[in-house]
Amino acid sequence: MSVHDILRMGDPRLLRQAEPVTEFATPALDSLIADMFDTMHAANGAGLAAPQIGINAQLVIFGFKDNQRYPDAPPVPETVLINPVITPLSDEVEDNWEGCLSVPGMRGVVPRWTRIHYEGFDQHGVHISRDAEGFHARVVQHECDHLIGVLYPMRVKDFRQFGYTEVLFPELDPNDDD
């Protein structure tokens, strides 16, 4: 297990369409996922996508009980989601703040579907099928965007609501590196 460097915006590897995972329950996949959790936890992230550590696979992880980067966020179940498919459950979209470990030190307001259904597989190949709303739905949409080469600033509509975290939210822990 080890902590990897997280690619930052500007790296072309963050702009690729990720490839589907075809082999499940392998030592290599287990090792990659362990490294991703180590990397996400070391950065206090709410989620991480494989392309962010340079692995061009349709694999994301997310989840936390409480998160110092998002102190008001409700818990999200710790999840490994592979080859995901997202379907909105209504037309309703809501705006809220997002950050990204690949865009350190910044936050922006991004519109996302309020309620979604998502499907995919865990690392053992077990099918996952869930409905989600609010912050949970937002995290899934953000992470899955990484699999199609989309970073959240590309979805910001109003750049007056995009800026440095320490300026926008001075109450957040300044030692938090994002």
Q: Which is nearer to Ni ion, 57 or 100 (CB)?
A: 100
Q: How far is the CB of 142 from Ni ion (least distance, A)?
A: 6
164 backbone dihedrals φ, ψ, rounded to 5°: -80, 135
Residue type, 164: Y
- Residue of minimal Cβ distance to Ni ion: 100
Residue pair 76/46 in contact (Cβ under 8 Å)? The answer is: yes
- Lay out the site mask for Ni ion across 80-119 (x = CB under 5 A, - = otherwise): --------------------x-------------------
6 lies in the binding site for Ni ion (CB under 5 A): no
Distance between CA atoms of residues 158 and 83, nearest Å: 31
Residue type, 110: V
Q: Which is nearer to Ni ion, 24 or 134 (CB)?
A: 134
Q: Which residues are catalytic?
A: 143
- Lay out the site mask for Ni ion across 114-153 (x = CB under 5 A, - = otherwise): ----------------------------------------
Residue type, 172: L
Q: Which is nearer to Ni ion, 82 or 100 (CB)?
A: 100
Distance between CA atoms of residues 79 and 41, nearest Å: 13
Q: H or E stretch including 35?
A: helix 27-42
Q: How far is the CB of 134 from Ni ion (least distance, A)?
A: 18
Q: Which is nearer to Ni ion, 24 or 38 (CB)?
A: 38
Residue pair 122/82 in contact (Cβ under 8 Å)? The answer is: yes
The alpha carbon of 71 is separated from its chain's Cα centroid by a whole number of angstroms, namely 16
Residues at the interface with Ni ion (CB under 5 A): 100
